[in-house]
Amino acid sequence: MSKSEATHLDRKGTPAWGALTGRLLGLFLGIAPLLVFMSVFFFWPLWNVLWTSFLGNEGEFTLGNYVLVFQEPYLSAFKNSIGLGLISAVTSSIPGAILAYLIESRGSERLRRLIASVSSVLANTGGIPLAFMFIAAFGMEGSATMFLKLLGWNIYAGDFTLFSFTGIVFVYTYFQIPMMVIVFSPAIHGIRNEWQEAARNLGATRFQFWRNVGLPLIFPSFIAAFLLLFASAFSAFATARAMSSGTIALVPLMIGNLVDGNVIVDSFNLGKALAMGMVIVSALAMIPYLIIQRRAARWQS
Amino acid sequence: MRRLRLASLPMYIAVGISAIYVLLPLLSAGEFSLRQPATHDYGFKHYIWFLELPDFAHYLLLSLGLALGAAAILLILLVPTAIWLNLGGQKLRGLVEFLTLLPLVIPVVALAIGAQTSLPEFAQTNEFILSFMYAILAMPYAYRTLDTGLKAVPLKTITEAARGLGASWIRTIIQVVTPIVRGTVLSALFMTLALSLGEFTLTSLLHWDTFTTWVTTMSQGNILGAIALSVFSLVSVFVLLMLIGLFVKPASNQLSTEEN
């Protein structure tokens, strides 16, 4: 309410021509460059993926590429990628949420800042450097492996390897947990101390506050963060490539092989249909994420 | 005081475990990278190995250049937009938020396959195309950082006050708005650099070589050398971003409406 009032007053206060040039200038500087930039480097490439995914080798219209997506080995690749996304989201969102809660509710300003910047660096690690770090620590000859063996726990006693599905999920936690901390912290930060105090003054216990006020407020944000982690693990490419070296069929790796020409298939545009398949899965997770985030932003700021 | 400390205990335990979890792989890799199997001792042989490679400096500088390019592009695009939206362009806020978040929805692999086939010839032959693509990838994070930072400041009231006291628009922007947004802008810069320096997917699928893809190529020949390179690249990104982080602190907090 107060915002619209303010603009109303503002409009009255400035001469009409000033408001008009201001608005044109705003449009010109504010949004036009963004639209042009995104059209060239984002929408145009994606539009190309979309329409060429419907083209056959002779440039004729076909649904053949999409029919292939639902056949082996691509169907299992999609199943693997979706499974990886879900399991990685589960294993990272819970510790991430607990960490975010503890730091946001009890950490000093300085610690919160430190965690925030460390997290944004860690959330961007991946690929070969990350793979090598984990091999050095948890590989067959790794330091942590040796140390745990001394304590009597041989992690290689079973059929565990870093290059398996479980191994990849484990390595992904290194950037997924920090990502969770980044995305989830604002939700916890938004639970105001005043609300807790108000609840307590009205006679609620700490447990009652969390059950009736706190958790219902942050639960949507948790789901949103979960979906983001899912999409992130589902489409991760660099680390998967460094870790699996072709042992596990994942969609991003298959697309990568097609783009690099490592694998030759009969239909040229199959990679684009696979990419569109990824866009659809990712959008199914990210659109609810964006909607929840938008609604949560109302009380978080 | 004592009660406070006891309540913070779980937090310190959690932070401690996280610190071990974060440092363990890094320190293990550090230890590996100093091993010299031929002489059974420790030394900097593998670090000297990559420092002496002719391509090392080239790719390092290229990656830094591309990351700075991406940051410059994003800031030029987004800072005026974010300021304008926070000064009154409320009607288009939803549209801009939607647009800037879209790159998050699209898997990078999908964008890469599109860029590979559709970008014009001149863009395909100049590696600075990567700066533009990195800017797209970093946009959701950078915009969100800018917008949250600016929302925390009563920018409209302050500029109106400056205008009311007779300052011109230009002067308002240079002397009033710029110092207020500096911290927020640096945070956005930080996000963009962190993402760009580590970017691998787009770079490799568009068949360019930057520091990250070069490390991957080099790793095939010399495993211990590659571990040394990995440690170097992680630690240097950490140090660089921590240095920027030191500068992020000052301006943004003074006018923050939040209580601590």
Query: Using CB atoms, which residue from B105, B113, B133 is nearest to A271?
Result: B113
Helix (H, G, I), strand (E, B) or coil at B35: strand
The pLDDT assigned to B152 comes to 77
% pLDDT > 90, chain B = 12
CB count within 10 Å of CB A84 equals 22
**Largest Cα–Cα distance in chain B?**
75
Q: What number is the average pLDDT over the span B116-141?
A: 84
Query: Is residue A159 classed exposed, middle or buried when 0-12, 13-18 and 19+ CB atoms within 10 A define those classes?
Result: exposed
Asked if A119 contacts A182 with a C-beta cutoff of 8 angstroms, the reply is yes
Q: How confident is the model at residue B144 (pLDDT cuts 50, 70, 90)?
A: confident
Size of interface A-B (CB pairs under 8 A): 244
CATH topology of domain A66-300: MetI-like fold (1.10.3720)
Phi and psi at residue A57, to the nearest 5°:
-65, -30
Amino acid B170: pLDDT: 79
Residues of chain B with C-beta less than 8 angstroms from the C-beta of A126: 198, 200
Question: Could you read off the pLDDT of B213-232 as tens digits, one per residue?
Answer: 888 888 787 888 888 888 88
Higher-scoring residue by pLDDT: B73, B141: B73
pLDDT at B166: 82
Nearest CA in chain B to A146: B28
Q: Using a CB–CB cutoff of 8 Å, tell me whether A63 touches chain B.
A: no
* Cross-chain Cβ contact A286/B104 below 8 Å: yes
Paired tokens of A130: 């990350």
The whole-angstrom separation of Cα B129 and Cα B119 is 9
Least confident segment among A6-10, B11-15, B162-166: A6-10
Q: In this predicted structure, what is the pLDDT of residue B257?
A: 34
| Per-residue confidence (pLDDT) for residue A5, from 0 to 100 | 43
Architecture of the structural domain at B55-254: Orthogonal Bundle (1.10)
pLDDT given for residue B132 in this prediction: 92
Q: What DSSP string describes A194-250? A: HHHHHHHHTT--HHHHIIIIIHHHHHHHHHHHHHHHHHHHHH--HHHHHHHTTSS--
Instruction: State the number of CA atoms in the 13 A half-sphere of A163 facing the CB.
Output: 13
Q: pLDDT tens-digit profile of B186-202? A: 888 878 888 888 888 89
pTM flag (> 0.90): no
pLDDT band at A301 (very low <50, low <70, confident <90, very high): low
Site from B18, B121, B190 to mutate, A interface, most A CB atoms within 10 angstroms:
B18
Q: Which pLDDT score is estimated for A1?
A: 40
Q: What's the alpha-carbon Rg for chain B, to the nearest Å? A: 23
For residues B61 and A240, what is the distance between their CA atoms, to the nearest angstrom?
A: 27
| Separation CA A126–CA B217 (nearest Å) | 15
Q: What is the pLDDT of residues B23-66, one digit of tens each?
A: 989 988 888 888 887 777 888 888 888 888 888 889 989 999 99
Q: Does B241 touch chain A (CB under 8 A)?
A: yes
Pairing of strands B41-42, B35-36: antiparallel
Residue in B172, B90, B179, B157 with CA at minimum distance from that of residue A31: B90
Rounded to an integer, the average pLDDT of A128-144 is 86
Contact list in B for residue A276 (CB cut-off 8 A) is 110
Q: What is the mean pLDDT of residues B241-250?
A: 64
N- to C-terminal Cα separation, chain A: 16
pLDDT of B260 reads 31
The answer on pLDDT for A250 being more than 50 is yes
* B208 token code pair: 């360019």
Segment A174-196 shows an average pLDDT of 84
pLDDT surpasses 60 at B3: no
What does the pLDDT read at residue B189?
A: 86
With an 8 Å Cβ cutoff, is A128 touching chain B? yes
Mean pLDDT, to the nearest integer, of B90-119? 85
Residue B253: the pLDDT is 37
Is the pLDDT higher at A15 or at B238?
Answer: B238
Residues 6+ apart with CB under 8 A from B55: B214
Which of B98, B110, B215 lies closest to A49 in CB terms?
B110
Within 8 A by CB and 6+ apart from A231, the residues are A85, A282, A285, A286, A289, B104, B105, B107
Q: In this predicted structure, what is the pLDDT of residue A11?
A: 45
Residue of A8, A39, A41 for testing the chain B interface, max B β-carbons within 10 Å:
A41
Residue B2 has pLDDT above 50, yes or no: no
B220 shares contact with chain A (CB less than 8 Å) = no
More confident residue, B56 or A1: B56
Q: Can you list the alpha helix ranges (DSSP code H) found in A14-142?
A: 16-26, 32-38, 44-52, 64-69, 74-106, 109-122, 127-138
Residue A4 tokens, joined: 């619209």
Whether A6 has a pLDDT exceeding 50, the answer reads no
Q: How far is B199 from chain A, CA to nearest CA, in Å?
A: 8
Nearest Cβ partner of B80 from A30, A52, A279? A30
Q: Which of A132, A227, A295 to mutate to test the interface with B (most CBs of B within 10 A)?
A: A132
User: Considering only CB atoms, which chain A residues are within 8 Å of B78?
Assistant: 34
Name the range with the highest mean pLDDT among A56-70, A286-300, B186-200.
B186-200
Give the pLDDT confidence score for residue B255 in this predicted structure: 36
Residue A191, chain B, CB below 8 Å: the answer is no
The mean per-residue pLDDT over the stretch A79-83 comes to: 91
The reply to whether residue B241 touches residue A98, judged by beta carbons under 8 angstroms, is no
Contacts of B81 in chain A (CB under 8 A): 29-31, 33-34
**ipTM score over 0.85, yes or no:** no
SS3 (DSSP) at A179: helix
Kindly tell me if the per-residue pLDDT of A297 is higher than 80: no
Higher pLDDT, B2 or B114: B114
Q: Which stretches does DSSP call E strand in chain B? A: 35-36, 41-42
- The pLDDT value recorded for residue A2 is 44
pLDDT of B131 reads 93
- Which one of A109, A121, A256 has the shortest CB-CB distance to B194? A121
Q: Cα–Cα distances in Å, from B212 out to A126, A267, B103, B209, B224?
A: 10, 31, 22, 8, 17
From chain B, the residues in CB contact with A255 under 8 A are 109-110, 113
Q: Is A148 on the interface with B (CB under 8 A)?
A: no
Q: Mean of the per-residue pLDDT values for chain A? A: 82
Q: What percent of chain A has pLDDT over 90?
A: 18
Residues of B in contact with A113 (CB under 8 A): 245, 249
Q: What pLDDT shows up at residue B238?
A: 80
Question: Which residues are CB-contacts of A268 (< 8 A; sequence separation ≥ 6)?
Answer: A57
Note whether B106 contacts A102, CB cutoff 8 Å.
no
Interchain proximity A275–B107, CB inside 8 Å:
yes
Instruction: Give tens-digit pLDDT for A255-287.
Output: 888 888 777 777 778 888 899 999 999 989 888
Query: Quick one: average pLDDT of A191-201?
Result: 78
B161 contacts: CB under 8 Å, gap ≥ 6: none
What average pLDDT score do residues A211-234 get? Answer: 87
Whether residue A91 contacts residue A167, with contact meaning beta carbons closer than 8 Å, is answered with: no
Q: pLDDT grade, residue A4 (50/70/90)?
A: very low
pLDDT of amino acid B252: 38
| A195 min Cα distance to partner chain B (Å) | 14
Q: Is the pLDDT of residue A13 over 70?
A: no
User: Do A128 and B28 count as a contact with CB atoms less than 8 A apart?
Assistant: no
Q: Where are the domains of chain A?
A: 1-52, 66-300
